[in-house]
Amino acid sequence: MKYFFLSDGWTVGRVWEFGGLWNENSWRRKPEIQQTNLCIFEQGEKLWLYRVEEAVLMVEVRPLDDASSDSATKNIGQVVLKRLISAEDAIERLNTALIPQ
């Protein structure tokens, strides 16, 4: 499994795998992306830990406001590509968030 942190108010958009954008017709399913019940607070933001399957290389995230709009009729707003981290990196980040600096 791979992981990433995502701020409240943001959602997952497009997903990339080794061959390019995730193709639901080829895979015959959506990519496995699950929000865990773990979060950290950083600079006043609540960041939720998400778990993704190994085949996923990168995810696009965007504000929830943009998720429901028609992308063909709206200019690209704020979009971020998230690189994924290992379980060890996720645990380290969770631990450092718990330890007062």
pTM check: above 0.85: no
Structure tokens that stand for 38 in this block:
């773990």
Q: What is the dihedral of CA 59, 94, 47, 19, to 10 degrees?
A: 0
pLDDT value at residue 76: 54
Q: Rounded CA gap, 46 and 60, in Å?
A: 18
Q: 20-52 pLDDT, tens per residue?
A: 999 999 999 999 999 999 999 988 899 999 999
Residue with token string 């958009």: 13
Instruction: Identify the pLDDT of residue 82.
Output: 86
Instruction: State the pLDDT at residue 70.
Output: 54
pLDDT level of residue 6 (50, 70, 90 thresholds)? very high
Give the count of domains, the chain.
1
Strand (E) or helix (H) holding 50: strand 45-52
The label of the residue with tokens 């718990």 reads 98
| Sequence-separated (6 or more) residues with CB below 8 Å from residue 63 | 9, 10, 11, 77, 78
Domain span at residue 73?
Answer: 2-98
Segment 57-65 shows an average pLDDT of: 91
Q: How confident is the model at residue 75 (pLDDT cuts 50, 70, 90)?
A: very low
Query: Taking the chain, what is the end-to-end CA distance rounded to the nearest angstrom?
Result: 29
For the chain, the average pLDDT equals: 87
